[in-house]
Amino acid sequence: MFYHVKELQYRAKPDRPDPVFARKLQEILGGQFGEISVALQYLFQGWSTRGNGKYKDLLMDTGTEELAHIEMLATMIARLLDGAPDVELEEAAKNPIVAAILGGSNPQHTIVSGLGAMPADSNGNRWTADYIIASGNLLADFRANLNAESQGRLQACRLYEQTNDRGVKDMLSWLIARDTMHQNQWYAACLELEQKENIVVPSTFPRELQKEEVAYTLFNYSAGNESAYGRWANGPSIDGCGMFNFVEHPVPYGKKPKLKPAPPYIFDTPPEVLRTSDDLPDPDMK
Amino acid sequence: MFYHVKELQYRAKPDRPDPVFARKLQEILGGQFGEISVALQYLFQGWSTRGNGKYKDLLMDTGTEELAHIEMLATMIARLLDGAPDVELEEAAKNPIVAAILGGSNPQHTIVSGLGAMPADSNGNRWTADYIIASGNLLADFRANLNAESQGRLQACRLYEQTNDRGVKDMLSWLIARDTMHQNQWYAACLELEQKENIVVPSTFPRELQKEEVAYTLFNYSAGNESAYGRWANGPSIDGCGMFNFVEHPVPYGKKPKLKPAPPYIFDTPPEVLRTSDDLPDPDMK
Amino acid sequence: MFYHVKELQYRAKPDRPDPVFARKLQEILGGQFGEISVALQYLFQGWSTRGNGKYKDLLMDTGTEELAHIEMLATMIARLLDGAPDVELEEAAKNPIVAAILGGSNPQHTIVSGLGAMPADSNGNRWTADYIIASGNLLADFRANLNAESQGRLQACRLYEQTNDRGVKDMLSWLIARDTMHQNQWYAACLELEQKENIVVPSTFPRELQKEEVAYTLFNYSAGNESAYGRWANGPSIDGCGMFNFVEHPVPYGKKPKLKPAPPYIFDTPPEVLRTSDDLPDPDMK
Amino acid sequence: MFYHVKELQYRAKPDRPDPVFARKLQEILGGQFGEISVALQYLFQGWSTRGNGKYKDLLMDTGTEELAHIEMLATMIARLLDGAPDVELEEAAKNPIVAAILGGSNPQHTIVSGLGAMPADSNGNRWTADYIIASGNLLADFRANLNAESQGRLQACRLYEQTNDRGVKDMLSWLIARDTMHQNQWYAACLELEQKENIVVPSTFPRELQKEEVAYTLFNYSAGNESAYGRWANGPSIDGCGMFNFVEHPVPYGKKPKLKPAPPYIFDTPPEVLRTSDDLPDPDMK
Amino acid sequence: MFYHVKELQYRAKPDRPDPVFARKLQEILGGQFGEISVALQYLFQGWSTRGNGKYKDLLMDTGTEELAHIEMLATMIARLLDGAPDVELEEAAKNPIVAAILGGSNPQHTIVSGLGAMPADSNGNRWTADYIIASGNLLADFRANLNAESQGRLQACRLYEQTNDRGVKDMLSWLIARDTMHQNQWYAACLELEQKENIVVPSTFPRELQKEEVAYTLFNYSAGNESAYGRWANGPSIDGCGMFNFVEHPVPYGKKPKLKPAPPYIFDTPPEVLRTSDDLPDPDMK
Amino acid sequence: MFYHVKELQYRAKPDRPDPVFARKLQEILGGQFGEISVALQYLFQGWSTRGNGKYKDLLMDTGTEELAHIEMLATMIARLLDGAPDVELEEAAKNPIVAAILGGSNPQHTIVSGLGAMPADSNGNRWTADYIIASGNLLADFRANLNAESQGRLQACRLYEQTNDRGVKDMLSWLIARDTMHQNQWYAACLELEQKENIVVPSTFPRELQKEEVAYTLFNYSAGNESAYGRWANGPSIDGCGMFNFVEHPVPYGKKPKLKPAPPYIFDTPPEVLRTSDDLPDPDMK
């Protein structure tokens, strides 16, 4: 169960309105790696964790914090939209700042949300749960989380460079720092689980059931062997269970597949029509 | 540029048709972590890499291999659908195997694709590029890749347990082994980049521009302090640049936000109406 | 900012596992009118409210409660999935309960989420922010909320009838009661705003700027005049500003549109080709 | 069955082309509350109504009218796009009006639709049936309709303020007036059904099956009790069946959930790994 | 503008309810090639046609007819859902017909739509305007229409085979016949435009601006030269402007691309890190 | 199985960076008819073809080529984004070229992809498999392919006109030529299949099972009979099996549908409430 206080986790006040930056900031609110994504990803992972120890608690701590980040960004965006002009083409043609706003802002901020933030990214794509990951396997999911915080911090840093507004930069410096913590934290959690299990997810699938002979092989499907010079192609594998090896000219292990005709009630191209097409000089024979 | 040979990377032939399993297998073809996702993710990362060395080559090698995996799964699914019955409710009520097929198979396999595989997951959701990640920052993206291979292998292992068909299991044992390699490989690539840069992505954002005082803090937003007992709350941070610390009772750093009224041409709730609502005993005064 | 406690708002414990009902229950977790929708809808409305009075507080109270409902449903679904069998077609054909599970359950619950709840509906469609509404105009939005709680309670009642599990029914009786409150509450809020403003949203658009002569007219576009016998076609309009009237045989007010040819660089069908098609006996002349 | 006449319901002719406004106008054609949404929403509700009386007729009347509104907007947008320039960056840099068009118009209007309207919103998101609602319960659905007309009129009014084109304003004045009628009409229909049934949807679910003790309670989950001063927290409930009451400090009614471990064939994090994490000083004991 | 009559274009009455077939029938109502798709595709094409002759009229005739097909299918589906049981797992395990319904029906038909048709396909994916095509170029679009009617008739025929219900088959025989007409009609329209223009769309792009030397070449990118034995690889091209030719071993015309480093404010992988990776034995040198 | 070489099929190098055109070019990479669509469409069709002759080979040849086109466009877009400025509103207001870039470029190119191409269209909509078609019936699918190449070439020609960059035009001239070949090739393949089968898809559905009396009728649902003057309304049908005919005033063949009430556990509007609404003067009686 949740409680809300009206104070923000950290201040979210720009020096001045800027509807163009409001649009951009939507990316880290409602984009693939925005705050909605991490909040719901961590909470869903927490709710699915089948044990009540520190991992679940860590997920709930962090997911709940991300709700506060959604709130900060929603507040900041509303303020960046303060008094957004009702831009007109003719007027825009006369006033360069208006022209720039006309082009660079999100029309839905005035037409749809009434100067409020939207659950959408910087191109107006609405947020979708396609973005989030919760598998029940914590090592897999903590890797998803480490990635999410890496992508999230990267985007926040890029946005930091695209504004001179000190209030916006101040808020971003908070979010960037929190992403530093979160990268560190998920990294630490991954290391701990890797020590208890193994680096390969899932660790409990019997190793002998996989095709061991290709479990440490790099196949060189893209011409040129630069990739042979990496750690991943030489020496013992990271999981300590095999030796990396490099196959410069990979060949198929399987045969040309031949599918049976479909039954008549499917109305695919009739077999006899396809057969005419098969009736060719056998290319393997030439 | 690409070339295709008609032989499969590995054989994809079931012992017998099974339209229900065909539906399930769609998950690792066209689901969030299916082969379409990894193929396009690695290729897009490769095409965006601004340097021609081993990282780009590794991405192109692996992306090209994943195209072969799409092909194997598409072939396997078409064969599992061989001669799928045109199931009828009345008939199903009499024959338990038909009833089970009626319920468990994907109706689009007969109506839409004509017994072919579809670019969709096990619930029929069409594949979307919302699933993939390519940021231009290789450490971030290799983490995404490590996650993708972890989730992918997990799903393949779960599917392995849900069938007795030896042909299907044989093919899955290949894919599971390749995912072992790919987890190892992206892990190795991450380690190498972390040594060259730092574990925090992006490594080139000036550290002093982030709010350092909260860059290593775990805020305990979910009551109960189990999370205090993890590595992430004690000792030096993983990036070696700070000391983890735990705040048991986090308080807000920001104030209650107060947004300005919207201009009249936005037609939000008029300020005077909202103001009546504000005209209350001040709760802070009581 | 938010805080979380690990206790549930209300208990969420089924008598026994039931993966088929777990799938169905996803509808009110991650469907169009599931708890994710109402939680994010109310919170986004709250964050956009440009005044800090009782309306914003009410939105934040209720949005925060809905987060607890997501949690209850996620917990319930995880428990309904306890020990879900790894169903096989052949086995299913022998055991009717297994066959029913095979058909009626969501394969992603075993393959993707590892027996956890998903942010998706009962057909596996992932939740999308397309479902939610926040316009900055509170009367409009409270109507959206009244609708959401009506649809939500309706779905919960339908689900209540589809199970015999007392634990599930107990939890649903809680959610149904809360939806009763929420319908009452948004209704009350609508009434209050309608008294302050007017029933027509937005109330501040100058009435004379709309085409008044058709502002209270029911046009009978579907043959048969049953609709003439409703309150909406007789007497004073609900907003008190006009008289309803009924037009049995509506005629067009506009003319046949004629669009200009596209410029050549658009490569539409060339005007001369279209013109040949226009060169016909004038149908109005016959 | 439907018939079409080529005359428009009302004229749709701008004074002059304006590709930027064409983009904006897409919102009320193909956006969440655009004309496609209301047309299909009312028609689907009508087709599902299990009775042939005035409600069904009203739905079919209005749904059919909305088809004519799609047509008017499609015509208007095509005309606003007349002769849209094939804008180039260098040229744009010289001519402010071209620069404004470059930024503010929808590139798909030239590349994809060949200067035609698209079934998409002002950000180019394609229309989706996620937007529409039809539940079989007319009171619920009429509330959805009342909301749709409220949001739709709000957006049309906002657009009215963003143009000086008299032709566009003329057409909008028509649509705004029709939305006035439609708000009045659905309001009247709701009142009638509420009198026949009750305000709580669905009215036929036995009241005693819901958890009555929380059916009229406002829980104060967001700190600060401004919401206590509303009608929704005081006096008899709107449905006349209870008394509103306010709980200032809501506590959980449920317990901390504890989920059972997943079976091995699911490959979630193994129970013994989770158990290590549980093996902590009991936080409740400290 | 449109008018509606309540009679159906053709009868839509099944012999008996069948919720499983109701689900399947959704495919041709709300799927990729369902009636919503063709209705809106033809109408949008018609509204964008920049000339008022026979092509536009044909589009409006057919689009308006397809609205009647949506109505027929919505009616049929509602009737197939008549009295759909509120299926329970335990009960299903006892009764084979109930078990089959549990598995094969769409849970949203009872939970969401209240036994009404939905704007969704047979897997419950909501209809999206991603499915439709309108480019302003009629030859291109008539080809899209020819395809749509081909796919649509194919699906209707497949469904015809999956039921024994005479009422359903009767309605399908109507739709199948109409698709025969519509395939003939769009084919005729294509032939006419091809005679006026040319088979290559768009016909007005100056031929000399394309890379003529590869405008009639089949590149053999998939090993094996079966494709060399088709009409498309031999003789004059269909457009009469070239000679088909076959390149058995296609080689790249372009060079290995080398991208410039990203500027620092993008925070991609730093150039010096990528450079280390480039610092390899030159593979071209070996 | 696939192999990759690092050389491009054709060069993809612009004269100079242009982030605005980079955004536009996304349309033919990741839009509805972009290269991702055709690549995956042809490959999925090929993998589903149940015969190994020339049709399958042709599909695999062309699908594999389209992968090379994705690569060329991804490379071109990355180069058009070289050194994209970190645009700021204030600065933009001063510099017209910067203002134009601010408005016309895709913010995700700097925030999300780090100056790389994205699997998205020119409005930032992510690519979805909703765009592609593979039915198992080759004649149907070759028509889909002919359409795809028509739409694709149309879009490429439109883009050709929107730039002065010779490098970009050079690459487009290649793609436009290839689309010429592909239109010719699919056209040839359609002709061949039509000769073997018939023009109506599917050719194997027994003709007598369709409602023959309406299989060649044009119903005039849109007032005005311009459409009567086309080939599709006169003379023998294209499939040679009937005579086209024109019905100027089409009447319904079906009756007004009357749906049965829903069972109580569905909680639709109760029958007695609907019945009141039915209790009207019979409109047919007046």
- DSSP label of E165: -
Contact between D224 and B266 using a beta-carbon 8 Å cutoff: no
Say whether pLDDT at F285 is over 70: no
Contact between C147 and D150 using a beta-carbon 8 Å cutoff: no
Structure tokens, B267: 């037609």
Tens of pLDDT, residues E17-44: 999 999 999 999 999 999 999 999 999 9
State chain A's mean pLDDT as an integer.
Answer: 94
Contact between B162 and C1 using a beta-carbon 8 Å cutoff: no
Q: Does C283 lie at the interface with F, CB-CB under 8 angstroms?
A: yes
Q: What is the pLDDT of residue B280?
A: 67
Tens of pLDDT, residues A201-259: 999 999 999 999 999 999 999 999 999 999 999 999 999 999 999 999 999 999 999 99
Residue of D nearest to C58 (CA): D227
Q: Does E231 lie at the interface with F, CB-CB under 8 angstroms?
A: yes
Residues of D in contact with C181 (CB under 8 A): 214-218
Identity of the amino acid at E174:
W
Residue of A nearest to D157 (CA): A111
Measured in residues, chain F has a length of: 286
Q: What is the pLDDT of residue F94?
A: 80
- Report residue E102's pLDDT band, with 50, 70 and 90 as the boundaries: confident
- DSSP label of E162: T
* Domain range D207-278, CATH architecture: 2-Layer Sandwich (3.30)
Residues of F in contact with D90 (CB under 8 A): 97, 164
Q: What is the pLDDT of residue C277?
A: 78
E strand or H helix that includes residue F285: none
Percent of chain F residues topping a pLDDT of 90: 86
**Residue D101 C-alpha, separation from nearest chain B C-alpha, in angstroms:** 23
Q: What is the pLDDT of residue F280?
A: 67
**D254-263 mean pLDDT:** 95
Determine the Cα–Cα distance for residues F33 and E143; give it in Å rounded to an integer: 14
Number of B/F CB contacts below 8 angstroms equals 146
Q: Which residues pair with B3 in a beta bridge?
A: F3
Contact between D74 and E48 using a beta-carbon 8 Å cutoff: yes
Q: Are B68 and B8 in contact (CB under 8 A)?
A: yes
Say whether pLDDT at D284 is over 50: no
Determine the Cα–Cα distance for residues C120 and C125; give it in Å rounded to an integer: 5
Percent of chain A residues topping a pLDDT of 90: 86
Say whether pLDDT at E76 is over 50: yes
Which of C42-51, D276-285, F240-249 is least confident? D276-285
- Under CATH, what is the fold of the domain E206-280? manganese catalase, domain 2, chain A (3.30.1530)
- Report residue D102's pLDDT band, with 50, 70 and 90 as the boundaries: confident
Say whether pLDDT at E151 is over 90: yes
Residues of D in contact with F148 (CB under 8 A): none
Of A153 and C83, the one with more pLDDT: A153
Residues of D in contact with A102 (CB under 8 A): 20, 100, 103-104
What pLDDT tens digit does each residue of chain B (286 aa) get? Answer: 999 999 999 999 999 999 999 999 999 999 999 999 999 999 999 999 998 899 999 999 999 999 999 999 999 999 999 987 766 777 777 887 887 888 899 999 999 999 999 999 999 999 999 999 999 999 999 999 999 999 999 999 999 999 999 999 999 999 999 999 999 999 999 999 999 999 999 999 999 999 999 999 999 999 999 999 999 999 999 999 999 999 999 999 999 999 999 999 999 999 999 887 776 665 444 4
Distances in whole angstroms, Cα of residue A122 to Cα of each of A27, A36, B110, D111, E202: 5, 14, 39, 21, 34
Residues of E in contact with A224 (CB under 8 A): 283-284
Q: Are B232 and C100 in contact (CB under 8 A)?
A: no
Say whether pLDDT at A285 is over 60: no
| Residue among A162, A226, A265 minimizing CB distance to E161 | A265
What 3-state DSSP class applies to B171?
Answer: helix
Chains that touch E (3 or more CB pairs under 8 A): A, B, C, D, F
Say whether pLDDT at C285 is over 80: no
Identity of the amino acid at E171:
M
Q: What is the pLDDT of residue A280?
A: 67
Domain positions in chain C:
19-196, 207-247
Contact between E136 and D115 using a beta-carbon 8 Å cutoff: yes
Residue of A nearest to E269 (CA): A154
**A39-62 mean pLDDT:** 96
Contact between A188 and B238 using a beta-carbon 8 Å cutoff: yes
Q: Does D11 lie at the interface with C, CB-CB under 8 angstroms?
A: yes
Determine the Cα–Cα distance for residues C222 and C209; give it in Å rounded to an integer: 29
- DSSP label of E10: S
Contact between A119 and C5 using a beta-carbon 8 Å cutoff: no
CATH superfamily of A206-278: manganese catalase, domain 2, chain A (3.30.1530.10)
Q: Does D44 lie at the interface with C, CB-CB under 8 angstroms?
A: no
- H helical segments located in chain D: 19-30, 35-48, 54-80, 89-94, 96-104, 107-111, 138-160, 166-196, 271-278
Tokens 């909509």 sit on residue = F125
Q: What is the pLDDT of residue A86?
A: 67
Q: What is the pLDDT of residue D286?
A: 40
Note the ipTM here. Answer: 0.95
DSSP B240-282: SSSB-EEESS---SSPPP-PPPPPGGG--S-HHHHHHHH-S--
Residue of B nearest to A209 (CA): B173
Residue of A nearest to D92 (CA): A93
> Chain B, 56-95: which have a CB under 8 Å from a chain D CB?
none
Q: Does F237 lie at the interface with A, CB-CB under 8 angstroms?
A: no
Q: Does C206 lie at the interface with B, CB-CB under 8 angstroms?
A: no
Say whether pLDDT at F279 is over 70: no
CATH superfamily of F19-196: Ferritin, core subunit, four-helix bundle (1.20.1260.10)
Number of B/C CB contacts below 8 angstroms equals 154
Residue of D nearest to B282 (CA): D226
Say whether pLDDT at D54 is over 70: yes
What 3-state DSSP class applies to C218?
Answer: strand
- Identify the CATH class of B206-279: alpha beta
Residues of D in contact with A53 (CB under 8 A): 274-280
Structure tokens, E236: 């004059």
Say whether pLDDT at E268 is over 80: yes
For residue B93, the Cα-to-chain-centroid distance in whole angstroms is 39
**F213-239 mean pLDDT:** 96
Q: What is the pLDDT of residue D86?
A: 66
Q: Does D273 lie at the interface with B, CB-CB under 8 angstroms?
A: no
Number of B/E CB contacts below 8 angstroms equals 152
Contact between F99 and A102 using a beta-carbon 8 Å cutoff: no
Q: Does A53 lie at the interface with E, CB-CB under 8 angstroms?
A: no
Contact between D263 and C188 using a beta-carbon 8 Å cutoff: no
- Under CATH, what is the fold of the domain F206-277? manganese catalase, domain 2, chain A (3.30.1530)
**C249-273 mean pLDDT:** 94
| Residue among E18, E161, E273 minimizing CB distance to B89 | E18
* Helix, strand and coil percent figures for chain B, each rounded to 5: 55, 5, 40
Q: Does D117 lie at the interface with E, CB-CB under 8 angstroms?
A: yes
Closest CA to C128 of E114, F106, F126: F126
The residue of F112, F128, F135, F192 whose CB has the most chain A CBs within 10 angstroms, and thus the best one to mutate to test that interface, is: F112
Determine the Cα–Cα distance for residues B175 and C58; give it in Å rounded to an integer: 52
